Structure formats: C-alpha cells, structure tokens
Structure 1
Amino acid sequence: MTRSFADRHIGPGRDDLDQMLVTLGVQALEDLASRALPAGIMDGGGLEGLPAAATEHEVLAELAELAKANTVATSMIGLGYYDTLTPPVLVRNLLENPAWYTAYTPYQPEISQGRLEALLNFQTMVSELTGMDIANASMLDEATAAAEAMTLLRRASKAESFRLVVDTDVFPQTRSVLQTRAESAGIEIVPADLSGGELPSGEFFGVLAQTPGASGRVSDWTGVVQAAHERGALVAVGADLLALTLITPPGEQGADVCFGATQRFGVPLGFGGPHAGYLAVRRAHARQLPGRLVGVSMDADGDIAYRLALQTREQHIRREKATSNICTAQVLLAIVAAMYAAYHGADGLRAIARRVHGHAVSIATGLDGAVVHDQFFDTVLVHVPGSADAVVAKAKSRGINLRLVDADHVGIACDEATTQAHVAAVLESFGTAAVSESAQPVSESAQPAPIAAIETRTSEFLAHPAFTQYHTETAMVRYLRSLSDKDIALDRSMIPLGSCTMKLNAAAEMEAITWPGFARVHPYAPAQDAPGLLQVIADLERWLSDITGYAAVSLQPNAGSQGEYAGLLAIRRYHLDRGDSERDTCLIPSSAHGTNAASAVMAGLRVEVVKCRDNGDVDLDDLRAKIADHAARLACIMITYPSTHGVYEHEIAELCSLVHDAGGQVYVDGANLNALVGLARPGRFGGDVSHLNLHKTFCIPHGGGGPGVGPVAVRAHLAPYLPGDPLEASSHAVSAANYGSASILPITWAYIRMMGADGLRRATLTAIASANYIARRLEGYFPVLYTGEHGMVAHECILDLREITRQTGVTVDDVAKRLMDYGFHAPTMSFPVAGTLMVEPTESENRAELDDFIEAMIAIRAEIDQVAAGVWPVTDNPLRGAPHTAASLVGAWDHPYSREVAVFPRGLGHARAKVWPPVRRIDGAYGDRNLMCSCPPVAEFAQ
C-alpha cells in the first residue's frame, strides 16, 4: 500500500486510531468533531480551493522550479542585508539539524543546557562587540530591535518629553517601524541630520542614530552622546557587528543602548528573514531589557548551569503591565550567528571585515571625486548627477544589484561574498577607465590608507574559550554535538506542550529553505528577481484566506506577537478613520494569552478584563456588563478559540454578536487554529481579524524559541489597514522586510501542498482525538480541569495538580522535573492556571508514544502516592530530587530511594532510550540575585 504524506505526518495508524476512539466512546473522527465543536460554527473548513495533495518528491520538484525562477544576483544593495558565506559545517550540523531546529523554548533549563550555552555565547558576542554590559538572547529583526530600544529609552529616561531625535541616516525600514510604534506609544519622532554633531533645539528623551548609516557613513557619536546626556536624554545606536571589529564600539562612545542585526554572521539573506536582531544595554538598564535573557546560575549540586533570567519580565506574566509584547526571540538564527563567530574567532572576523572594507576602498578609489563620504566601512555612496538609473541598469546587466538612492546617487555595499571580479564589474558600470589600476586584489593584511582612517578599535573581544577553541571543522562538529546532546528536542521525544503545538517538521518541508534560489535573494531586490518567491507568497496568502475564511492576509509579521500587534493596529486605525477616536478599549478574557494584553497596550488600547466562569468559558453576563460600561469606547474583544483552557466554547457566536452589536470588532487569536483547520473558520463564525502561528499550526519548526511567522488575516473592511512595504512612507510596517521571514515560507507551502484538504482536516481531527485520549486515560489520576458540553476537550487538556499539591506538597515543578528522568519534556506548567499542567500531544505522535507518556504520568502518580503515604518525605523523594544526572550516582547516596529508582524509574529493561539531564535542578533565584548574562570571565574558566 502506498502511503500518502498525510499518512507519514499523522502518527496514529488506522488500527491504533480505532482503539483510541473506542476509549473515547465514539465510532469515528467525524463523530468526535460533532461532540466537541458547536454545530453552529462547523462549515466544512473551506478547503475546496486548495490543490490536491502531492507527494514529497512532487512538491520538491515544484519548489525547485519556483527556486529556479528566482534570479540569484550579486547583491550589493546593503541597507542592513548582506550576502554571507555560511560555513557548511553550520549548515549541515546546525541549520539543517532537527536536534537544533525542533527544540522548544528553554523553559525547562535542565534539558536545554546546550541551546542555553549557545545563546549565552550569542549574548557574549553582542555585548563584547558593542562594548555594552548586557545583551539579550536576540530580537525579531533590526527594525523591531530599534523600536524596542526607543521605548526602552522612554522608560529609562527621566525626561518628561515624549520627543525622540532620530538621525536621518538611519535605515529607512527602521524609521518606518519606529514610526508605527511611535504613533501608538504617543512618541513624536524628530528627524535630524546629526552628522555635524549638533542636536536640535527643544526637549527630548532620547536620541537614536546608526553606524555605519544608510549612506555608508561611519560616525563617531561621542560628541552627540555627551551633548544628549548633558540635556538629560539617553542615546541608542544601531551598529553593524562586523564593522565593530574595526571601529570603536558605541558602548565605548558612551551610548546607553545598542541595537542591530546579526544576519551577516552566516545567516542567509532569505528575502528578508528570519534573522536575529540584537539589543544591548548598560547594566543599569538590565531590568528594562525586553525579550529573553540567558543567565548563569547553579544547580542542586553547586555546579554552573544556565537558565532564562528574570522571567518575571515575560509578557505572559506581566499582561497589560508589560512593556513589550515580545515573548520570543530568533533562537535558531542567533545560534547560527554565535557559532559563526565561534568558528571564525576574533581574528577571522577582523580579517573578513578588512577584506569587505578593502573592496569598498577599491571601488571608492576607482570612483575618485564622486564618493560622498570619506569615512565608510562597506557601503560607498556615489554622486552621479542624473545618471543613477543608467548606472544601476548597467550593473544589473552584469548580474549585480546596486541601490538606487535617487536620480543622482547610487549606493554600493560590499560583503563577505564580494569578489574582485564584482568590484571590477561595478567600476565598469560607472564607465571608469581605471578598472585595472584601482581594482587590485585586496589582501586581508593590507592596510590601505582609508582602512587606517576607520580602524579605531583598541579593545579586545571574543577572547573566551567559546570563541577560541572551535576553529576547525572537527572541533566545531564535536562542540555542536556535545551541546545538542544536552537537550531534548522532537528528534528524541514527544514534547507535549499545551498552547505550543510541537508537531512534526517534515524533512521534505525543510529541505528547500537553504536552496540559493530562496536563501540568497535580497529583500529589496527588483521584483523581477523573485517571481518564484512571490508565487509562494501569493499561494500562501490565498490558501490561508481559504482556510481561515478571511478576505486578505499579510505575511509581514515575523512572530505571533507581531501578528497580534498588526491586527490590533488595523482595528485601531479602522476606528480612527471612521471618526471613532474614543473607541480605545479592548476586552480580554482573564484566561487569555498574556501577549494579548501586551499587544493591546502597544497598539494604544486600554485593557479591560472579562471574567471567566468556573468551567473556563467567558462569562457572558460579565461581558454584557463590560460592554454596557464601555459601549462608546469599545474597540474590540480579543479571544482565543478554542479557548486557552483547551475547550470549544459553545457560545462563541453569541459572544461575537454581542461585541458587533456594540460597534466593536472581534479579534480571534489564532494560536489554536490547529484545532479548527478543515472544521470551522474564524472569519466565518464572527472574527474580523486573526493572527496565525505558522510555527505551530503550519509546521514551521520552533527552533528553540524562533524562527516564527505570525501572518495577520482580516475581513475585507480591515484589508486597507494591513501593514505595508517598510520602504514606503506611512506603511505602518511592523517588521523590516515586506514579507517578514520569507525564506521559511516554503515550509508551510510544502506542508499545505502535501497534505491537501483531506489531510489537513484529518490532522485536526486526530489532534483532537489524541488530546481527548490522554485526558480520558489520565482523568482517574489527575483531574482534567476543563471540558466542553459533552465532556470533551479540544486539542489540549489541563491536568489539575492543585489538590495533590495541597495534600502532599508535590508541585507541578516536581512532576515536570521528574518527567525528565522518564525521558520526556514536561507539558506547559502553570499556564493558564497556576498549579496545573497543560498537555498537547498534536497529531504527529503515534499511539505508542502517547501511551508511553501516559504510563510515565501514571507511574509518577504512584510515586506521589508514596510521598502521601509517608514512605518518602516530601523534602527527599524521587520527584523533589529530580532530575537525576549520571554524576549524581557516583559517591555517597543518602536518599530514601535507590539509585535505580532515581534514574531508571521503569526499570533497566524499559525500551525507551535513557535521557541523561546534564545538570540537577537549577536555582533560578540565585541566578537572578547574582545576574551574569555572558560567558564567565576567562580567569574563572581557567580556574
């Protein structure tokens, strides 16, 4: 029998699924759907317009043709995006390795030590290159990092002003995203040419500048920083990390905040993303730093261990008091950048920088008299009155894309992939007669006069062993393997995280993303260079519209948080255009994702919380009261469907009608869309806007906390308010590239193309069946907190441990850590209800894996009973001692349970491969009291 891709993607076979359905008391998957979902919202899913399912090889052939349609030109456009030579050892062993790309956010640090160490390397790299004290674990891209820097300056500044001075030489896409964020934050942006060192008059809370600038100019911002500080303002500087290997870093010039991107450190152009942005600050602002921060702590044995620091900054905790809605990072890409730096080391990076700068010098020398700036790193701005179009066209005919600045100026950006032949071709495009003399090969050790003019850095960087020991491929392969062995990813185990949808990321879906036709296209390349990519984008926009029932989709948001923000901005702008400026209240159920409230605040809305009933549903009586209280000010409601409690609320249609009748809009958070695909469409049962998580429902891998894509889908009346091209004025862009993280869109394209309508619907129904199977099997051991009308859950279930904790002292933390000894990653802890575990099996796990997890949980319940019976004290038992390392078995053993029970709780003969956590339970509080967020000093390492 020939198996379809859907058969390969969906875990339970037909016989196993039949047995699961018997456990649930239903005859077929369709019967399960009719019992779980309200009949009024089921509409067949709207999948008729999708193409028929194709095989893996057919889809790869189609993608190959689409990639072939793109022109991989030599990109010399710049503007923050540069071609780079990703070391093959990193492509094969990291970027294309499921041990890295299928990992989850390191909320369980004991089984995330590998990627936490890699992220600590990233933070160290950024902080040392920028000259700052602390860097976070990456941002979504450079423009959003700049927007976070702006709001950080506002929070940290003592100035009362809401004005921010922005240098006119900042990248245009950065200015666009800054303007979008500033409008909803009530910040006035004051553009100013700061090249002369003078600040504009009036009060302002901050200054934001960049080096090198969009024009290529390298600036020393010391004087501007001093002048700003004298006037009570703080300063953020965007900086190119490769340039910082040569020029004085902003931290040494006195800057308070530094931001930028790490794309040119081995991360492909990818038509705009995904790329890891960065944000670094002075130590005084560490607790203002948004996003995730990896810190050094110690475990129960006193050994060094890593974990996420200061987690109270996480936006699901702070909700409407959040200062940002960024709840993720670009982990996989940040790790690529960090390993690129580790592979090359300080000397290697410096050599690359000198070679890049040398090529730019050769171009400038050949165009003597036409170059605008005398200090530049990689980008040369050339003045060619009235001839810019012709020059760009001539370069294009030679296979090179230059930047058309205006009718009189051309920008030329060199990068790691630039060769001497490219330099010669560029000079020929300008008609210079001095090609052979000016375009001499550039030696990495040569020191032409212009290099000396910018090479002002004197401080050391990247001296830690992490950046000095792995310069050979053998060393790097072993380092990467040693790190990944410390983690649990989907290649080792089911990751049953509720709300996170950790399902199969098929190899056929992943294969195309590193192909040059997708990976080496600049986001601002001419449209004729990217017909294949634009076809993938157009197909996805159409397919996602069909699946959701909405009229239009924007793929620009590069994370779910950005999708939320873009959707709420669309609602806010819609009301403002209608003259309803008073409509600024967003109703949010108490059960909602914390980013919902944070996104609403960022969009300029006031949050009003709606109560939930004891069964977890939104309390419609309280909703009616809130609508009455805020009728004239009601902008929208944000709901998650199925709910954050893991059930299909049967009053969803009435809820939507109540809000619409009051003049509000309905935002349906699409985080749980994987429980609706093929069954019901939010755009048809009452939603006006939704964001979708392609990294959940549509198979883009989690990557340890990024990459992600969070498209926003809207009904027709909101379509004019979707984010636009960031290079255009008043675009309301939310990320730097028009199509966000475009290079990973082929993953979702391939998934939908291979699954087809029937496969997508079957995946949804199987996910519901698997969640209900776990709930039914475990409800006698751990109460299931919420169920729907017929006792069914949706795609996830919440196991309630609160009474167990009250009776025995065993906590959800104890259970989560003990699961590591059984070889499993823990479910989601204490969200959305403290003291609970939220379990989501997805459709990709087969029955054997589900049963193994169920049996592990039953065995853990038996261990809890031993604590309850007094056999083991609450302070010393296998749960409280978990996880147990191999090292913990050596030496004295003074616990009331045996070594075998500690590490082989189901006996030596159990078939599941043993996972050895590398560290014992980590003391997070110690790490927060003793905050260290970069590699330990070399002296400590030597000790």
Structure 2
Amino acid sequence: MLMQTEPTLAELEDSAAFQRRHIGPSAADQNSMLHALGQPDLEALMQAVIPAGIRRKRKFELPAALGEQQALVELRDVAQLNQVMRSFIGQGYANAHMPGVIQRNVLENPAWYTAYTPYQPEISQGRLEALINFQTMVTDLTGLDVANASMLDEATAAAEAMTLALRAAKSASRSMYVANDVLPQTIEVIRTRARPLDLQVVVGPAAHAADSDHFAVLLQYPGVDGGIHDFRALIKGAHAKGAVVIMAADILALTLLAAPGELGADIAVGNTQRFGLPLGFGGPHAAYMAVRDALKRQMPGRLVGVSVDAHGNPGLRLALQTREQHIRREKATSNICTAQVLPAVLASMYAVYHGPQGLRRIGQRVHAFTAILAETLKHQGWKLQHEAFFDTLTVLTGAHTQAVHAAAHAAGINLRRAGADRVGVTLDETATRDDVLALVGAFGSARGLRPPAENLFDPYAKGVATRYPAELARSTAYLTHPVFNRYHSETEMLRYLRRLADKDIALDRAMIPLGSCTMKLNATSEMIPITWPEFAAIHPFAPAEQTRGYARLAAELEQWLAQATGYDAVSLQPNAGSQGEYAGLLAIHAWHESRGDTRRNVCLIPSSAHGTNPASAQMAGMQVVVVACDASGSVDLDDLRAKAQQHAERLAACMITYPSTHGVFEPRVREICDIVHEFGGQVYVDGANMNAMVGLASPPEFGADVSHLNLHKTFCIPHGGGGPGVGPVAVRSHLAPFLPGHAASGDAGKAVGAISGAALGNASVLPITWMYIRMMGAEGLTAASAVSILNANYMAHRLAPLFPVLYTGDSGFVAHECILDLRNLKDSSGISNEDVAKRLMDYGFHAPTMSFPVPGTLMIEPTESESLAELDRFVDAMVAIRAEIAQIEEGVWPRDDNPLKGAPFTAASVLGAEWTHPYAREQAAFPVPSLRAHKYWAPVGRIDNVWGDRNLQCACIPVSDYAVDSDVKGA
C-alpha cells in the first residue's frame, strides 16, 4: 500500500503556484536539460556560467510571494487608495469611451498584446495593417503628407519635432520659439531636451513668434486655455525667416477645424489618447507625428510602408528608418527604436469603428456641450478668456476661484487650476447632460446662485451655434478609405479584428526566440488590473490626495526594482527603454556639472553596443568614442584604457551591456568599471539583458553607476507589437538627486527636468510589473533568471553541432542567449540567415534576431517561460531546415530554387495550378508531420524591401491603385 504524507498547511496554500506556471520547464524537465549539459543541478550551472567575482553578494529581499488571487486582492486594496472623480482638467488628456469590441478583442487579446515589433513583416501583416490605418488616420486629419506609426507621448513628440526642425530649418538660429499656450508639460520636456544640445527655448505669445529669427516655432491648436487662432499669417512670417513650423493639434478638434497642413504647418504632433484610450494617469497613449513630404526621410520613429511580395502582391513592411539606430548609431535622427504600437492600434480601430461621420458627430457633440456650458456660465455673470473654442473654456473667476474648485470637488469634479484668478474646464466624449448641469451648479454655487434647471438644454433643441471661427471650419474630407467606412457594425468589426490577428505570429501562437528582446509570458492575472477604473480613470494632473494608490504602487515598485538590481534609487518616469537610457546619461551629465566638471562630455561605447546607446549619448550632448571588441566579442580592455586615458579630462561615461551583447558574462567587467572610474567617468550598464541577472548578479556590485531597465522585457509588460514600454532608470545614491523631475510632482526645479509628459510615464501598465514581482518574490525572480540561462544553454547545446555557437564564456556556456553562426552556409549552399528566418515561418515560428550584433547570424533568447516541449519543437525545426540546406549542398535542389529561397509559402502559392519547383508541394507546406495538424500560413510571400523604399507609400489606398505586376519585382 502506497504511504502518503499529509501535506503541510504551507504546501496546501502553495504560494509558489504562479512561479511554476510562469517558468516553462518543470522540475523534471530541468533535470533532464541539466543532464544533457553535464551539470548536476541548477546552482552548478550558475557557477559555471557566471564568473565567481560577478555573483551577487547582497541579499535579495522582497515580500514573500503571493498566489494569483491573493495578489489581485492586495493590488485592489492599493487601487482603491486612488479616488476616481470626473476629471475635466484637460491639458492634453481627455476621458474617452473604448468600444467594448475593441477592448475585448484587442486590448485584452494576447494575439495583439503579446506580438513583437514587426521586423519580420510576412508574419506581421495584421498589426502592420492596423498601423498603416493609424498613419492614414493621422495624415488625413492633419492634412500633411506622411505620418509615422506613433510616438511615445505628445511632449516627447514635440521634442523630437524640435530636433527634426533643427536639421531641416533654413535658419542658422539655435533658438526655438514656443507659444505660451502650449501644454505646460510639453514646454517642460522641450526644455529638458534642448539643454544638453545648447538650444535656446523662448516662450512667449504666439503672435510674436515671427518677430525674430528662430529655427522652429511651436504652436498649440487649440491652446491649453482653449483659444483657437488662425495661424496662417504667422506661419508665413515664420517661414520667411527660415523657421520650421510645428503645430501640436488636438486630434478630435481636427474633425471640425481646418487641418495644420492647410494652415501651412510643416510638422504636426499630438496625442491620440482621446480616440478610445483611458486616462491611465498619463499613459500609455499613442502620440503622433506627421510631416510634409520633404521631411519624410528625416522623421524619427517607425514608418509602415507598402511594398510587394515575391508573387507581385501588395505587402506591408517597416520602411526607411527601420532600426536605423543600429546602422547610423550616433548619427541617428533619434534614439527611439520602437513606438506605442498597441495604443496606436487601439486608436486606429476607434477611427475604423466610428468612421468619419461618427468621429465628426463625437466632435460636434463635445463642442455643442461646451458651447451650452459657455453660454450658461456667461448668463451667470462669468467672463471667458476666449470666445472662440472647441472643447475647453478658461473662466475668469477672480476672487471666486477657490470657491469654484471647492464646489466642483464637492460634486466629485476636478477642474484645471489655470491660475489664481481663472479655472479651466475641458469637456470630452464622456460628458453628459448631468455633467453639464453639475458644472453649471458648481460655478453657480461659488456665487450663491441656485442650481440650474433641468430644462437648461431646451433652447438648443433645434441646434447649437458653433463657437470656433468660420474661417477655420474644416472643409476637406478625411478618412475616405474603405477601411474607415465599412466596419461600423459590431459583427463586421469583430470579424475584421479576427482576420488581422490571424495573419500574425504572436506569443499566444508560438515561441518568439528573439535574442536581446526577451519575449516571455505576460500572464493574464498580471493584465487584469490595467482596466480597473481605479487605475484607468485617473487624470495625470489630478490632485495628489486622489492618487495615493499610484503613489504607493510607484513607491513599492521603485523599492522592489532597487532590490532586484542592487541600486539605491529608481525613477519610473521614462516611458521606453530609450528614454531610460537618456535619463541615465542626463543624470551622469548633471552629476559632473554639480562637481564643476563641465568639460566632461565624452562617452565610450563598445562597437558591439545596442544602437540606441550612441544615439542616446548624442542626444545627451555627449561625443561618442567607439571602443573595439576582441575576437571573443568582449570589450578590448587595452583599447578601452587607451581611449579613457586619451580623453581623461573630458571622459563622462562608458556605456556597456551586461551580459554582453554577444550573450556571455564577460569575466573582466569589474576591470572595465575600474578603468572608467580611474579616469573620472561613470559607468552606464544597459539593462536590456537584466533577465539573466535578477537575483544572480548586481550591476552596482561590479561597479556600475546607472542602468535602465526594460519592464517590457525582464518584468513582463507586454511588447504589444512594439510598444508600450517602460524604461525605469536605476542609480547609485550619488546620482539619485539627478533623476528626472516633473512639475506635476512638485520637483520641477531638479537638475534634470521632465523627460516624459506625465510624471509617472506609462503609469497604467505598471500594475503588470507589480503583479509579476508580487507573485514571484525574490526566490521566483532568481529562479526565472536561472532557468532563462538553462534554456539558452540547452538550445545552444542541441544546435551547436549544426550551427556553430559564435561566442561562449570561458567555461563553454552562454548566458541567456546564444548567437548561431550561419555565415559559412552562404558559400556552401547560397543560403543566408534571412533565408532561414523566412523558412522558420513555414514551421510556425517567429525568427530569432537577425544579423545583430554580428551580420549573418541568428541570436536566440528562449526566456524562462518556454517549456521543454516548445524548445525541442523549435530545435527540431532548425534540424529539419539544416537537412534542407544539406539537400542544396548536395546538389539535389538548385541554389536559386529550393524551399528556403521560396519561403515563406502562402496557401495560394502551394495550391496554385502550376508547380514548377524541383521539390514537392508537401515539402514546401508540411516539412514536418506535426504541421498537418496545426499549420500557420503566412498571408504574403517574401516581401521586397528595396521596392518598398524606392516606391514609398505610407498610407492605405485601394489595392487596385498599386502598380503591382510581374514587372514590379525588378523595379
């Protein structure tokens, strides 16, 4: 009889259940993998992989892990510390209704939120179509020629427009003029960005923008105070002096007002948040940038364009500056390497669902309610700052100002504190008649007036007169493409979203083994809280007493991330990894200046570094000096010392990645840090590979001064097709005073100003990371890092006999990723790493990272959340592909006509009447038997990248308008 021991209470409560679900390989699977590697246990493998001098010594302390339900209950308690009130604050943020069909089928759908940036376009056609819809929406509404696939937020979009204008302007001036009715947070971020570039920012009335020479002029349309002005004459005057004109425009207002392009603007920027996204305490939201045609090749960020595939059919791809940081490095136009893709998809689908008539009706309703409110307030005796407006009123309240705020607060309403003698009110899509009555009542109460009668709206039954200038009324059509005029029933919309999702490979379908990108499980329990009203419905400039939940969430996360990394202080403000890099370098720069070292502006960067590193250094006003790497891919210490000594008086920083970009733990990283410190510099360690270190190694322990983290990599915020992200910056104590400030937090006077529009950046996705850490605990996070290393070494071990592993550590092991060298295949078979990447699509996999950091290679990072079965399935696919390559090497298939050169295969190409290839249809479609039961079909064949850039088309137009035929491929 089998004897059973009674489980303990702790075992029954099972607080580690989530850890087992997050970490893919079971204990038995781990033992099997360790046996294959010749290691007795996981700790022995860690000792072999991580140099002894690098192993973490400081104790890793976090609250004990909770189960999923307990963590949700605890986070609900945190959320309820926030007070949800009706916010009519405006200032660039407005309430909006997200249609349920979009919330359920995009925001809450892992087919959308677990997708990766569409570097492999053939398996990204769904999200690329959604993004080209976004671009079309923006170009139509702004009246400009080209829009990108979204920016991080409106403030940083305006700052990017500033540097774009600096490159493009005919004026030699180093001064930018900013109208004083531009959003305050935008002015704050622009000042931060301008300072290290020695640019002057002049703030004053818009009317004086053309009075003197400036390389750029920034105008707000409508202004933060609601005013609407005809800028045509002003823009002509600015152009006459060689300035580039940037207009920050409200996307909903453009459904009724003349477009910036019609008024003469060169660049338009703004936020699409009010197209269906919640306030979310400031983010994530998709900002936009649109430019006139002459500026399109200088525009930062991602750009989706139309090309053709191998069969002459249209296909979408990233165009022009795709990953330009990795090519142009410090000469890149921006350090942004991604976008706010998921928010951009949501905003674009809002436009698809409502269509042009629906959007115009929403804009008209908002304006009508605002006009009714304005007339009623005037009847009460109030004066308005502007008689022309769209959705925002600035009411001159004089001595009654505090009384108005108090009455509004008592009614559960937040208004904008526009000054000591005025109050701002911004209406939005969600405003109701009851809201208007409550607002009228609050203003009336401050004067001792009776509450308004419910028949307030009766005089407007037959129409409401518009209150914006007639000469600025929109006369041009927008959103005329069929996609914006077809899917207005929920049935049609539901099916459209499903069709797009089915075109893509996301993490819900298969492993995404991208090296350096860390595509791991984004658990459902982590995602649930982001739609809670207590997080989603909070305005970023709501009073502090209403945001105590966010304050606690941020404080706990900062403390936990400091524990996870070993640093002393953390800022959560950076809303992307690139912004975290930038913030870290600004902290270093400010620290040097505080010590009187104003000459220190040289940044040493290894040749293998991520391309965002040199781009960020340039943005921070630093001069990049490249340090060589040795044959093993490690930093060349002799070259580092020579260059540190050469630039000793000006050395500001050195940026390295650890584990290295080549996927190994460099044993001499302490020496790197010591050399830099010896010559007066600070060490920045890129946190992109932190997933290999949490609980195992600590950057400040081996000499680092600052790092950024990618919460969308190591700490489980989903990539969402290329965004949103969060890139916190973590520092040692001496740099803590130089973390980003923000006026909304009461620290606008800090040495480093705001780098994001909101004080907490992409705040509403922070609960995801909170849940992940709370459910994993210190033990679980450490185990995740260890298993990520185990998975990578297991794959390297199995693949090395077929595809040599390019770099390993002294013990023969890799860190969390490995680089497969495919360069010899070019000579033996004519096959490139790109051919292998495309062929993997036919096996149902997303390709690994191609040609970074070494051309002709594939870099694989399996992460800890992939099971042994999935690892083996991927290895089996690579084994089968290597066998196909052998057929080419042996002459069975020609070099120019084989399954790898033909990949990926669409269903139409395999089922066509003619088949002239020397291999069977079955070989093309079902190279392994398991695919017969579960097959992903690429929606397009291999896309022609060169044709797409030569024939740039970045908006969705009818397919019949494309010149697509058999001759196109050779164009």
TM-score clears 0.5: yes
Aligned to 1:902: 924
Shift of 1:386: 2.4
Unaligned runs of at least 5 residues, structure 1: none
| 1:83 maps to 2:95 | yes
Of 9, 30, 34 in structure 1, the residue corresponding to residue 43 of structure 2 is: 30
Alpha-carbon contact 1:45-1:678 (below 8 Å) kept? no
Q: How far off its partner does 1:577 sit?
A: 1.5
Match of 2:414 in 1: 401
**Percentage identity across aligned positions?**
59
Are 1:210 and 1:237, in contact at CA under 8 Å, matched by a contact in 2? yes
Residue in structure 2 matched with residue 568 of structure 1 by the alignment? 585
CA contact (8 A) 2:299 2:333 kept: no
Q: Is the 1:818–1:882 Cα contact (8 Å) retained in structure 2?
A: yes
In the alignment, the residues of structure 1 paired with residue 813 and residue 462 of structure 2 have an alpha-carbon distance, to the nearest angstrom, of: 69
My pick for the range that moved more, 498-507 or 211-220, is: 211-220
- Answering whether residue 129 of structure 2 is matched by residue 112 of structure 1, we say no
Instruction: Give the distance between the partners of 2:203 and 2:919, measured in 1 at CA.
Output: 68
Cα distance in 1, alignment partners of residues 355 and 932 from structure 2: 43
Equivalent-residue separation in structure 2 for 1:550 and 1:428 (angstroms):
51
Matched, 1:482 2:492: no
Distance across 1 between alignment mates of 2:959 and 2:932? 43
CA contact (8 A) 2:272 2:287 kept: yes
For residue 804 of structure 1, report the CA deviation from its aligned partner: 1.4
Distance 2:565 2:931 in 1: 44
C-alpha deviations, 1:842-861, integer Å up to 9, x for none? 00000000001011101111
Alignment of 1:659-674 (within 5 A): 659-674=676-691
Paired residues for 1:70-219 under 5 Å = 70-194=82-206, 197-219=207-229
Cross-structure match for 1:885: 906
SS for the counterpart of 2:476 is coil
The one-letter amino acid of 1:390's match is A
Partner of 1:863: 884
Q: Deviations over 1:708-746 (max 9, x none)?
A: 000001111111111111446445111000000000000
Q: Quick check: 1:229 aligned with 2:229?
A: no
| 1:108 counterpart letter in structure 2 | Q
Report matched runs for 1:508-657 at 5 Å.
Answer: 508-657=525-674
Which of 258, 273, 280 is residue 248 of structure 1 equivalent to? 258
For the pair 1:697 / 2:695, whether they are aligned, the reply is: no
AA matched with 2:93: Y
Partner of 1:810: 831
Judge which range, 384-393 or 640-649, deviates more.
Answer: 384-393
**2:352–2:487: 8 Å Cα contact kept in structure 1?**
yes
Distance in 2, Cα, partners of 1:748 & 1:439 = 47
Counterpart residue type for residue 579 of structure 2:
Q
2:789 is the alignment partner of 1:768? yes
Contact 2:302 2:322 in 1 (8 A): no
- The counterpart of 2:427, out of the listed 396, 414, 439, is 414
Could you tell me which amino acid in structure 1 is paired with residue 69 of structure 2? H
Cα 1:452–1:939 shift into 2, 3 Å: farther
Range moving further from structure 2, 432-441 or 618-627: 432-441
Give, in angstroms, the shift of residue 311 of structure 1.
3.7
Could you say which residue in structure 2 is the equivalent of 1:507? 524
Counterpart of 1:396 in 2: which secondary structure?
Answer: helix
Show the counterpart of 1:740: 761
CA contact (8 A) 1:387 1:407 kept: no
Q: In structure 1, give the amino acid aligned to 2:499.
A: S
- One-letter identity of the residue aligned with 2:515: G
d(CA) in 1 for partners of 2:932, 2:908: 23
Provide the rounded CA distance (Å) in 1 between the counterparts of 2:272 and 2:931.
45
Choose from 771, 777, 795 the match for 1:756. Answer: 777
Please list the CA deviations of residues 477-513 of structure 1 after superposition, one character each: whole Å capped at 9, or x if unmatched: 1000000000000000000000000000000000000
SS at 2:719 equivalent: coil
**CA distance, structure 1, for counterparts of residue 514 and residue 58 of structure 2:** 25
SS at match of 2:209: coil
1:342 aligns with 352
* Aligned equivalents of 2:658, 2:458: Cα separation in 1: 61
Give the match for residue 261 of structure 1.
271
Partners of 1:45 and 1:677 within 8 A in 2: no
Q: Distance in 1 between matches of 2:461 and 2:949?
A: 43
Q: Where has structure 1 moved over 6 Å in runs of 4 or more?
A: 441-445
Change in Cα spacing, 1:644 to 1:313, as seen in structure 2 (3 Å) is closer
What residue number does 1:845 align with? 866
Deviation sequence 1:529-567 (CA, Å, 0-9, x none)? 121121111100000111111111000000000000000
Conserved 8 A contact 1:147-1:181:
yes
SS of the aligned residue for 1:178 comes to helix
Query: 2-side partners of 1:43 and 1:233: how far apart?
Result: 54
Residue 433 of structure 1: CA displacement?
Answer: 5.0
Query: Unpaired segments of 5 or more residues in structure 2?
Result: 1-11, 965-971
- State whether residues 45 and 547 of structure 1, in contact with CA within 8 Å, keep that contact through their aligned partners in structure 2: no
Amino acid in the other structure paired with 1:875: D
1:6 pairs with one of 6, 9, 19: 19
SS at match of 1:332: helix
The match for 2:509 is 492
Sort the Cα spacing of 1:211 and 1:663 in 2 relative to 1 into closer, same or farther, 3 A. same
CA RMSD of aligned residues (A): 1.7
Aligned with residue 712 of structure 1, among 729, 733, 741: 729
Is the partner of 1:404 in helix, strand or coil? Answer: strand
SS at match of 2:307: strand
Residue 323 in structure 1 maps to residue 312 in structure 2: no
CA separation in 2, counterparts of 1:437 and 1:720? 54
Preserved CA contact (<8 Å) 1:358 1:451: no
Following superposition, the deviation at residue 912 of structure 1 comes to 6.3
The answer to whether the 8 Å contact 2:741/2:748 transfers is: no
Judged with a 3 Å threshold, the aligned counterparts in structure 2 of structure 1 residues 809 and 452 are, in CA distance, closer, same or farther, namely same
Moved more, 910-919 or 778-787: 910-919
Contact residue 323 and residue 337 of structure 2 kept, 8 A: no
2:809 counterpart of 1:792: no
- State the partner residue of 2:33: 20
1:918 maps to 2:900: no
Count of aligned pairs between the two proteins: 939
Counterparts of 1:445 and 1:32 in 2: how far apart (Å)? 77
What is the rounded CA distance, in whole Å, between the counterparts of 2:466 and 2:639 in structure 1?
73
1:306 aligns with 2:316: yes
Spell out the pairing of 1:429-444 with structure 2 (5 A cutoff): 429-431=442-444, 432-433=449-450, 435-436=452-453, 439-440=456-457
In 2, Cα distance between equivalents of 1:795 and 1:113? 29
SS of equivalent to 1:666? strand
Judged with a 3 Å threshold, the aligned counterparts in structure 2 of structure 1 residues 722 and 941 are, in CA distance, closer, same or farther, namely same
